[in-house]
Every structure is written in C-alpha cells, then in structure tokens.
Amino acid sequence: MPLTNRWNQCIYRVWAPFYDRAFTRLFAPGRRHAIAALAPQPGERLLLAGIGTGADLPLLPAGVQVVGVDLSPAMLAHARERRDQGNIDVLLIQADAQALPLRDGVCDAALLNLIVSVVPDGGACLLETARVLRNSGRIVIFDKFLPDDARLGIIRRLLNAGARWFGTDINRRLSDILSDSRCVVEHNLPSLARGVYRVVVVKLLPSA
C-alpha cells in the first residue's frame, strides 16, 4: 500500500498513546547526533517538520525559537505537553510537511528527524523545507535510507509493504529525495542500526 496523508493520520492516532514509550529512548542518540550536527543557536528560528510528540524539544538548547509542524493532531497533543513543561518558545502547527503554511525564508535552520521516510513524498518535504529557509539556512536529516547501490529485491519489497502499514517506508534512497532540490550533501554520517539510520548535513544552495 502507498503511504498517504489519510493513512498517516489514522496510524499515528493509533501510535500516539505509546509512541514515546516505544521509540523515544531508542531514537534519542540519533536525535542528539542530528541536533549536534545542526548546532542551533539562541535566537534562531528552527523548523521541526514532523515534530511528532516533541521528542526533540528537551534536547534543544535554550533560546531557540521552534516552529513545530505535524499532520497528526494526536501526536501534536503530546508535543504540546512537552512544550508546556519546557522553557523553549515553541509554535505548534497542524499541517502537511509537504505543503508548509509558512512564508519563504522565515526560518534559519531545520531538523527533519524521521519524517522524509514517513510523508508520502520525501522530496516534496525537503523542497518545502528549503523554501521556508533563508539562503544561508541549514538542514539536518536523521532517517533511514536504502543505499544507492543496494538491490531492491522481492524480500525487501515485501518487508516494505508491511512497514507502510505502520506508517513508514524502508526503501527510500537519499539521492531520490535530494534529486529535485537545491540541496547538496555536506556530510552523510552513520548513526543507528549499524548505519541504516543516517545523519545527513545538507547545504542549501542559493536560489536563483
């Protein structure tokens, strides 16, 4: 089955009550790695596309202004609790990361943690992220990717069919996500699961 916004809203409504217990500790090292690579600074406006339950919020430095976007109201309810318990300025918006309701060039940096493998079109998510960043903006992606030289065999396709029922795609290649964007990779670093999960530092080329 293909990933769709409607299915993602359904499945993440199911995931929301126990997502943190199942995944927050598991993915925390990768999130920390991504945040360290981005190095957000006090006073910067940071986009968290696919903020989910807000697991990144406690890991961010004080003084960062966060714009958190997620499609799922159920996940955002948990992010709202984290925001209210913390001391970071956070604006939460229910919206599609593939069509951000933000003006061009309003953010300084962006974290795309575990989102480009979840949205129906990871490339569209990256394009929208680049659009809302200033020309000097920075993007870091933490996600799982199929290596460009890996064969996409029948077993992998069957496994992915099952993974999509749970709201994620295990067969996306970073090169495909970057292909139509004005982004180039500065660093592609192994993270969790022996490098299946990567932390990718992306340079945003100036717009024409």
pLDDT at residue 132, as a whole number = 97
Query: Whole-model pTM?
Result: 0.95
Report how far apart, in Å, the C-alpha atoms of 23 and of each of 29, 55, 190 are. Answer: 11, 9, 19
Give residue limits of the domains in the chain: 5-204
Each residue's pLDDT tens digit, 155-168: 889 999 899 899 99
Other beta carbons less than 10 A from residue 127's beta carbon? 17
Second-level CATH architecture of 5-204: 3-Layer(aba) Sandwich (3.40)
Q: CB count, 10 Å around CB of 191?
A: 22
Tell me the per-residue pLDDT of 64-106, one tens digit each, with 9 for 90 and over: 999 999 999 999 999 999 999 988 999 999 999 999 999 999 9
- Token pair of 81 as six digits: 């609790």
Q: What is the pLDDT of residues 98-114, one digit of tens each?
A: 999 999 999 999 999 99
DSSP conformation letters of 186-208: EEEEE-SGGGTEEEEEEEEPPP-
Cα angle 37-41-98, degrees, rounded to a multiple of 5: 65
- The answer to whether 55 touches 35, Cβ cutoff 8 Å, is no
Q: What is the mean pLDDT of residues 143-156?
A: 91
**pLDDT class of 208 with cuts at 50, 70, 90:** low
Tell me the C-alpha distance between 50 and 75, whole Å.
Answer: 10
